[in-house]
Chains A and B, each alone.
Chain A
Amino acid sequence: MTSAGTGWPPAVFDAAGPYSEPVTTLAWVLLLGAGGVLAIVLAALWAALYGSAALKARLGGERSIWILGFGFPVIVLTGLLVWGLILTGSLSAARVDGSEMRVKIIGEMWWWRVHYQDAAGRETMRDANELHIPVGTPVLLELEAADVIHSFWVPRLGGKMDMIPGRTNRLLIQADKPGIYKGQCAEYCGGPHALMGFVVVAHAADDFARWKASRLPASGAGGRGLDIFLSSGCAACHTIRGTPANGLAGPDLTHVGARQTLGAGILPNNPGTMAGWIADAQAIKPGNRMPAYHQFGGDELRAVSDYLVTLK
Chain B
Amino acid sequence: MRLKNALIAMVVLLASGATVSFAQESHIGNIQGRASAGKGLYRRYCVGCHGPEGDGSGENAAWVDPKPRDFTAATFKCRSTPSGTLPTDQDIFDAITRGFVNTSMPAWRPLTNQNRADLVAYVKGFSAKWKGAAPGAPIAIPAEPPVKVEGILHGRELFQKMECWKCHGPEGHGNGPAAATLTDSKDNPIRPYNFAMGSRFKCGVTNEDLYRIFMTGLDGTPMPSFSDVLKPADAWDLVHFLRTLQPMQTKEAEVWKQWQTTQPAQAKQLKPIGPDQGSVQGAMNAQ
The finding on whether chains A and B are genuine partners in a shared complex, rather than unrelated, reads no
Residue numbers of A with Cβ under 8 A of B are none
